[in-house]
Structure 1
Amino acid sequence: MELAINNSDKTLSVSDAIFGRDFSEDLVHQVVVAYRNAGRSGTKAQKTRSEVRGTTKKSKKQKGGGARHGALTAPIFVGGGVTFAAKPRSFAQKVNRKMYRAAMASILSELNRQGRISVVDSLEIEAPKTKGLITMLKDLGTGRRPLLVTEDATENLYLSARNLPYVEVRDVQGLDPVTLVGADSVVFTSDAVKKIEEWLA
């Protein structure tokens, strides 16, 4: 498979297994959910009636006072415990390496099929100026939420994109399925594409 390089007559030869495979919605969904869950802290905690501070002595006589109640730490009272109290837990889901790489290749293939991938020789910026990056993105015709992927993102590129709220800059090591799925378009450098092929091969 050949990918056209923007503003050039050259093309880049890429693997069909990475940029031309069938889309697996179930696999991509599983990997995206697992990736997002891995970022959850899982530290929410509430107290049961046995953990709430306060006496467990019966609050009033059994008879003659209306409703019959025991301790004021019961869940029906303000300040009492929680019936099914949340406890700290891990939301992590196991996704093996083969599944993760297959999902990444599936996402890349679908982006390529939809014409949302662009390849350029370089994304170098001479100075950390937001205006320069905006001009570059207009020339490339990216959407509102572009993702710029380089082999090793330079500091100038990061600083130029910092003030643009919907522009993401990643190097190949920092690429993840959630960022790929959420991007309107993805701009790769030629070196980044080669490195991704080595990673997902």
Structure 2
Amino acid sequence: MELAINGSDKKLSVSDAIFDREFSEDLVHQVVVAYRNAGRAGTKAQKTRSEVNGTTKKSKKQKGGGARHGALTAPIFVGGGVTFAAKPRSFAQKVNRKMYRAAMAAILSELNRQGRITVVEKLDVETPKTSGMVAMLKSLEMGRRPLLVTEEASENLYLSARNLPYVEVRDVQGLDPVALVGADSIVFTADAVKKIEEWLA
């Protein structure tokens, strides 16, 4: 298949396996969840009744004082331990390379079908100014959350987009499923598309 290049009569020939693949919601959901879980610190920690700092001495006599209780470190007391205390753990889920690449291709294909992909010859600004980035996005008629993808993003491009909320700049190496799913519209350079094809082939 072919993708139209914005502002040019040329068309970019791309692989059907990457930009015209059948969408699999289950696969994409699994990969997106796994990617987000891999970013979780998993450092939450609570103390059990055996770890709480406090005496384990019986708090009052067994009879004559109402309810019968032992140590005040029990979970029913304020300042006591937690019954099922959370401990540091990993949230990582295993995703095969083949699954990850298939999910990326499925997302790109669906974005292309929805008309949310724009291809340009070049994506750069001469000086690192926010006004230049705003003008470029306006000319491309991007949505509220645009994602700009280049083969190797220049420093000027990063700096120009830094002060704009919801505008993301990525190079192909830093592309991930969460960034693709969260973007309203995506701008690829022609070189970036070719590099993505090499990566997902």
Normalising by structure 2, we get a TM-score of 0.99
> How far apart are the structure 2 equivalents of 1:102 and 1:194?
17
> Deviations 1:118-170 (Å, cap 9, x if unpaired)?
00000121101111111111111110000000000000000000000110000
> Deviations 1:50-108 (Å, cap 9, x if unpaired)?
11111111111110001110000000111100001001100000001000000000000
> How far apart are the structure 2 equivalents of 1:124 and 1:57?
70
Q: Secondary structure at the match of 2:147?
A: strand
Q: Trace 1:163-182 onto structure 2 (pairs within 5 A).
A: 163-182=163-182
Q: Secondary structure at the match of 1:18?
A: helix
Q: Secondary structure at the match of 1:158?
A: helix
Give 1:93's aligned residue.
Answer: 93
Listed as ranges, the gaps of 5+ residues in structure 2 are none
Give 1:111's aligned residue.
Answer: 111
Identity of aligned residues (%): 88
User: Structure 1 residue runs of 4+, over 2 Å off?
Assistant: none
Instruction: Report how many residues are paired.
Output: 201
- RMSD of equivalent CA atoms: 0.5
Shift of 1:197: 0.1
> Deviations 1:11-58 (Å, cap 9, x if unpaired)?
000000000000000000000000000000000000000111111111
Listed as ranges, the gaps of 5+ residues in structure 1 are none
- 1:14 equivalent in alignment to 2:14: yes
Normalising by structure 1, we get a TM-score of 0.99
> How far apart are the structure 1 equivalents of 2:133 and 2:87?
46
> How far apart are the structure 2 equivalents of 1:128 and 1:92?
38
Letter in 2 for 1:132: G
Q: Secondary structure at the match of 2:76?
A: coil
